[in-house]
Structure 1
Amino acid sequence: MTATTEIATEEWGPFGRPLFDDPSARALSRVGVIDVGSNSVRMVVFDGAARSPAYFFNEKVMCGLGAGFNETGRLNPTGRERALAAMRRFALLAEGMGASPLTAVATAAVREAEDGPAFRREVEEQTGIKLWVVDGREEARLSAQGVLLGWPGAAGLVCDIGGSSMELARIEGGRVGKRVTSPLGPLRLQGVRGGKKGIKAEISKTIAALAEEVGTDHKRLFLVGGSWRAIARIDMQRRGYPLHVQHEYRMSSGAIQATATFIAEHDTAELRALTGIGEARMALVPIASMVLKQLVRALGPKEIAISSYGIREGMLYEQMPQRLRDRDPLIEACRFAEKKDARIPGFGRALYRFIEPIFKGEPDSRKRVIRAACLLHDVSWRAHPDYRHEACFDNATRANLGGLTHSERVFLGLSLLHRYKNSRSGSRFEPLLGLLSDKESRQAEVLGRALRFGAMFSAQTPDSLGELRWFPKKRMLELRLSAHADALFGEVAQSRFGALVSALDANSEIKRLKPR
C-alpha cells in the first residue's frame, strides 16, 4: 500500500471511500433478475447504491407451476401459461427499463418436471430469455448469498422454502458452507397421501434426516421465502408488534409454536382478513407452519430471523466483486442517499467528525448507526417543515436498509426525529419506541440534538471551526471555537448547544481560541 493510499484510507475511516462512483459498481446500478419458482414467478430490477440496492421494480405472479406435480410429474398447465405470459411481460419491461439482459433461474418445479426442458425452450423462443435451471444445492447457495447481502459476516443456518422444495445452507465468515435440499415445499406436501397425519409423518421423517446432515448447533436460523414471511406477518399480528418491517424480524421458538397453533385454530379466510396476505400464498401457510414448527423443534436454534433477501438478491451478490461484498450495506446506502438528496452532499462525514467525541466510548456497532444518522440527517429537507421530523422517522424505520436490527431502525429514526424536533411525546411513533430501552431513547435524543447543533452551527465543515470535548466523569461538554468562528455562535446556535447540554444532563464551557 502506498503512502497516498494510506492517507486516503485514514481520511475515509473504516468504511473506505464510497464505491458507487466506481465504474465496476456503476455496472450494477440497474440489474434485472427473474426467479421462476414452483409457486411464483418474479422479476426484480435493482438500482441505487450497488452494495445495498433499492428495488426499482418488483413484481410477482403466483403461477403455481408446481401444483399437482406429485400426481402428474409435469408442470401445471394453467400455471405454465401464466408463467409464459409473465415472462413475455417481464422481457418487454426490462428492455424499457434498460435492465437487459436479464439473469433468470428456475428451481424445483422446472428442474424436476418431465416437460421442464420444453418449457425452457418455449421461454427462450418467445422472450429471448435463457432460463438457467439450478439444482437444489445451487439454489441453497444463491439464497444464502442473498442473506449475506443483507447481513455481512452473518453466521448460522439459512433455510429457504419454496413451493416444491426446502433448502438449508450453512454460512460463516462471509462464506457458504454445507448445503442440502429436501422435498418439503408446501405445494409438494399437499400431494402426500394420508391427509394431515401423512403430511406430519413425511415432515418429521425428512427433518430428522436433515438435522443429521446439518447438525443442531446453530446460533441463528435465517428464514427465506414467501411462506416464512407470511408466517412472520401472522406472528406480528398475533403479538401486536408495532413495526411491520419483515427483514430482521425476530421470532423465538416459543413464538413459532404459538403462531403455528394460532394458524391451526383459524381458517385461511380469517387469517387473510387479519393480515392482507394473498389467497394463493395463504393456501400454503398451514402446511408451511407445520414444517417450521417441526424444523425449529428439531434444530433448536438460539435465534430465528426473517430475511427479506433470498435467491434474487443472491443472484445480484453473485455479480459483485469481493471488495464490494466486503462493504457495509447500511453505510453505502446512506452515502448514496446523501449524495442524491442532501442539500450539501459530503457534509455528513464532517458532521460525524464534529460530534464523534460525545460518543467516543460507544462500541463500533453503535458508531456505525451514528455515522448513518449523520449521513441521513438532511436527506428529508424537502418535506414540509411541520412534518419533516415524521418524514425522517419514517424514512429510517421503513426504508430498504440492510444491516439493521429493528431496534437500530427505531434508534436511527428517533435520532433523526430529534434532529428536527425537541419533543417526541404524543407522536404517532410512540408504540415503536417500546423497542428501545430508556437508555437507548435518551442516547437517540442526545444524538439528534447533536446533529441539530452541528448542522446549523456551520454550513461548511463544523469540525474545522469548532471542536467538541466531552468529559463524562465531570458531566462537562466543552465547545472550543476557532477565532474566526465566534460570529457563528449566535443566539440560535447557543440555544441548540444548550439543548444538547440539557439532553446530556451536563454542564458546559465555551472556550474561544485566540488567532495565531
Structure 2
Amino acid sequence: MRTGTHAQAEGSGSVAAETDKARLRRIGVIDVGSNSVRLVVFDGMARSPAYFYNEKVLCGLGAGLGSTGRLSPKGWRSALAALHRYAALAGRMELSGMIAVATAAVREARDGPDFCAQVERETGLQLHVASGSEEAQLSAKGVLLGWPAAEGLVCDMGGSSMELAHVSGGQVHDRATAPLGPLKLAEIADGEKRARFVRKQVKALRRAVAGEPRRLFLVGGSWRAIARLDMERRGYPLKVLHGYEPPAAQLLETLAWIRARDPAELSALTGTSMARLSLVPLATLALEELIARIEPGRIAVSAYGLREGLLYRQMPEAVRRLDPLIEACRHMEAAASRMPGFGDTLFDWLGALYAGRSPAELRLVHAACLLHDANWRAHPDYRAELCFDSVTRGNVGGIDHPDRVFLGLALLNRYKATAPDTTATLFRGILPETRAAEAVILGRAMRLGAMLSGSATGVLEHATLEPGDGRLTLTLRGPAREFAGEVVERRLQSLASRLDATGVMICAE
C-alpha cells in the first residue's frame, strides 16, 4: 500500500549547468531583484526543500529606473554591501554550489553590466542575468516544486516586473513578462494613466499566455504581504502563507481595504516592514486587474518561486517525480522518530481500514504514519499539541491548508484519547466536520498500532485489523500473540467506537 504523486518537468538549462549535479549537497542561491536582494541556502537536493539559511535586504535597486534608465545609486550601494556579506557567509557554509541570479532591474538598466562587473570584481560572484522569459519559467518551476500536479497560471510579482506562465502536466508552457512591478507603477504619478497602463499590460500578458486558469498561483513578496493582510482581516487561524487559498471575491475586498488604509496601520497589524507595505497598494492594482481579466477558478499563494525554481531545475528527473509531502515526512521520521522505518509498516497495517480510498486520501494516511512518532521527545503534557503545530505550521510542500489541519488533528489524536474540542472548533472553517472526524479515526488507529507494537517492527507483520459486519477485528498470530493486553484492548475499543463498531481481539495460531 504505497502512495505517491508524480510530475514530469523540463530538462535543466543554462543556469543549472553552473553546478556539478553529482556534487550537490548544500546549495546557495542569491537573488538580486529590483526591490530585494536575498541569500537562500538549501540543505541538499531534497524534493521538499530544507532552508539552511535565509536572509533578505530591501535595497530598492530598481527605484527610479523607468525615468533614469539606470540603477538607483542608493540601491546599488545597499545591494553591493549585501552581496559582500552574502559572499562572506557562503565562504563559511561549505557550499557545494552557488548560483547568483539578477532579474528585471539589472536586466533593463543601462548600467546593469557595470553593476555585474563590480560585483564580480569585489566579491567573486558571477551574476547570471535572467531574461524575462527565464524569470517566468523559474518562478513556474518553483510552483512545480510545491505542487507537482499544478494546473493553471503562475503570476510572479517582482519589484519592477510581473511574470505570467502557464503550467500543466508538470511542464512550463507559455510565459511572458510586463513592467508591472510596484517600483514601475510608482513612477506613474497620474492615477488614471496608471490604471490605463495596468489594464493594457495585463491584457497583453493574458494574450501572450493562453493557459486555462483553473488556478492562479501567486508568487512574490508583494502577493505574500497581501495574503497576510487578508488573513488578518478575516481572522484566519492558520498563519501559513504557502497553500493559502482565499476566495477571489474576498481577496478583491481585501485589495480595496488595503488601499483605504495607512501603511503604518497595516505594518502594525502584520509586522511586515514599512518598506514592503509602502509598495503593496500599488501591487493591489495589478492583482485586481489580473483577477478581473483571467477569472481564475481558485487562487493559491506560493511561498516557492524563482529561488526554488533554480533548485528544481537542477534536480535529477527521478527526484522531481517524488512526492514532496511524503519525502518531507520521510526525512522527519528518519531524523526524529524512535524507530525510523516503522511509519511504512504502520501504513501497510492500516491497509484494510482504508481499502478503496483515493490516492489523495492514502497519501495523507501515509504522511501521518510517517510522522506519528516524530515528536516523541516533547514533554508528554504537550506532545499532542506540538504534533499538531509541527505539521500545520511546518515547512512542507505538496499540501494545502485543509490537508495540514487534517494531518494535525490525526497526530493530535494519536497521542490523546480525547483531543480538545477547541482545536477542532478553531479550524472548523478550514476543515469540514466530516473530515475532522476522519482525522480522529486515523489518529486512534495509529495509536492502536503504535501501542500494540511499541512502534517496533516484527509485530504488526503478524497482526491484522479488519472492519466488517459491525465489528473491528484485531487478529494476533504467532509472535504477535505475546503483545495482547489490557491497554491494547482499550485502544481497540476506542477506535471501534469511532467506527460505530464493536472491537474484537482474537489470538490465533
Q: Normalization by structure 2: what TM-score?
A: 0.94
In structure 1, the partner of 2:506 is 511
**Local SS of the residue matching 1:102:** strand
Are 2:178 and 1:178 equivalent residues in the alignment? Answer: no
Cα distance in 2, alignment partners of residues 69 and 13 from structure 1: 50
- The aligned counterpart of 2:38 is 42
Matched, 1:127 2:113: no
1:86 and 2:92 are equivalent in the alignment = no
Amino acid at match of 1:89: R
- Larger relative contact order (CA 8 Å, sep ≥ 6): 2
- In structure 2, give the amino acid aligned to 1:350: T
State the Cα deviation string for residues 324-377 of structure 1 (Å, max 9, x = none).
Answer: 101100001110111111101001000111112111122110110110000000
Which of 326, 346, 349 does residue 344 from structure 2 map onto?
349
Q: Which residue of 2 aligns with 1:484?
A: 479
Cα shift at 1:491: 1.2
CA 216–141 in structure 1, closer or farther in 2 if over 3 Å, else same:
closer
Give the secondary structure class of the aligned counterpart of 1:202: helix
Number of corresponding residues: 494
Shift in Å at residue 13 of structure 1?
6.0
Select the residue among 461, 466, 477 that pairs with 1:464: 461
Alignment of 1:191-230 (within 5 A): 191-194=187-190, 196-215=191-210, 217-230=212-225
Deviation at 1:29, TM superposition (A): 3.6
Which one-letter code corresponds to 2:319 in the other structure?
L
Q: Deviations over 1:178-222 (max 9, x none)?
A: 11110001101111242x222111101111222222237311110
Contact 1:26 1:50 in 2 (8 A): no
Counterparts of 1:288-327 in structure 2, within 5 Å, are 288-327=283-322
Larger mean Cα displacement after TM superposition, 421-430 or 148-157: 421-430
Residues 356-401 of structure 1: CA deviation (Å, up to 9, x unaligned) = 2111122110110110000000010010000000110011100011
Instruction: Tell me the CA shift for residue 274 of structure 1.
Output: 1.2
Deviation track 1:147-197 (CA, whole Å, cap 9, x = no partner) reads: 000000211010001000000111111100011110001101111242x22
2:92 partner SS: helix
Residue 162 (structure 2) pairs with residue 190 (structure 1): no
3-state DSSP of counterpart to 2:427: helix
Partner of 2:494: 499
Residue 418 of structure 2 aligns to a residue whose secondary structure is: coil
8 Å CA contact 1:216–1:298 kept in 2: the answer is no
SS of 1:400's equivalent in the other structure is coil
- SS at structure 1 position matched to 2:296: coil
- The 8 Å contact of residues 489 and 505 in structure 2, kept in 1 or not, is answered as no
The answer for the alignment partner of 1:398 in structure 2 is 393
Whether contact under 8 Å (2:3, 2:359) holds in the other structure is no
Mapped pair 1:61 → 2:70: no
Whether 1:152 and 2:143 are equivalent positions in the alignment is: no
Q: Distance in 2 between matches of 1:72 and 1:165?
A: 16
Cα pair 2:453 2:460 within 8 Å, conserved: no
CA RMSD in angstroms, aligned pairs only: 1.7
CA contact (8 A) 1:235 1:259 kept: yes
Calculate percent identity across the aligned residue pairs: 51
The alignment status of 1:334 with 2:334, answered yes or no, reads no
Unaligned 5+ residue runs, structure 2?
Answer: 7-19
**Residue 250 of structure 1, aligned match among 235, 245, 249:** 245
3-state SS of 1:159 partner = strand
| Distance verdict in 2 for CA 1:310–1:247, change over 3 Å | same
Provide the C-alpha distance between the structure 2 equivalents of 1:449 and 1:27, rounded to a whole number of angstroms: 44
Distance 1:26 1:417 in 2: 40
Distance in 1 separating the partners of 2:29 and 2:233: 34
* Distance across 1 between alignment mates of 2:232 and 2:335: 36
Consecutive unaligned residues of structure 1, counting only runs of 5 or more, are 1-10, 17-23
The answer on whether the counterparts of 2:4 and 2:322 sit within 8 Å (CA) in structure 1 is: no
Work out whether 1:260 is the aligned partner of 2:255: yes
Aligned to 1:3: none
- After TM superposition, the score normalised by the length of structure 1 is 0.93
Shift of 1:26: 8.5
Residue 313 of structure 1: how far off its partner (Å): 0.0
1:276 aligned to 2:257?
A: no
Q: Distance in 2 between matches of 1:14 and 1:231?
A: 33
C-alpha separation between the residues in 2 aligned to 1:357 and 1:12?
13
Deviation string, structure 1 residues 474-509 (Cα, Å, up to 9, x no partner): 232111110332221111111111111112221122
